[in-house]
Amino acid sequence: MADTLIHKIAELRELLKDRENAGGGLALALKRARRRLPRRIYRLGQELAAVQPLLEHPKLRMTVEEAKLSRSADEVIKHLKSINLADRRRGRVLDILASMAFALIVVAVLLIVLLRWRGFV
């Protein structure tokens, strides 16, 4: 059972690396992806990162609640697999375009106000 949990944690690290561009160990990858993860998912991931050294030791492995941690790992993996990278990229581009459009509208309004104030319009 602990071997499957270790494999789930390895899969979790790979998903964090692929989907969130956060490499390194599990704790470091979670720290790098913290702002992009929901609070609950981040906390579950931190629990898994804290338990990871215990899973590598044969006697300490018995002190870990494997069923609870397995459910936590499944939930974090499910969330990371549901991330759509193309949609995230598209959203980022649309955010940039929206801010540029807003800036242009503000400049145009200020220009019209200035011209009207000076008496040209």
DSSP string covering 39-57: HHHHHHHHHHHHHHHHHHS
- pLDDT per residue over 60-94, tens digit each? 888 999 999 999 999 999 999 999 999 999 999 99
In the predicted model, residues of the chain with pLDDT beneath 70 are: 1-2
The pLDDT score that the predictor gives to residue 1 is: 59
Q: H or E element: which one contains 85?
A: helix 85-118
Domain positions in the chain = 1-83, 84-121
Q: Counting beta carbons within 10 angstroms of the beta carbon of residue 61, is it exposed (0 to 12), middle (13 to 18) or buried (19 or more)?
A: middle
The pLDDT score that the predictor gives to residue 2 is: 65
C-alpha–C-alpha distance, residues 54 and 38, integer Å: 26
The pLDDT score that the predictor gives to residue 34 is: 93
Q: What would the two tokens of residue 118 be? A: 């000076």
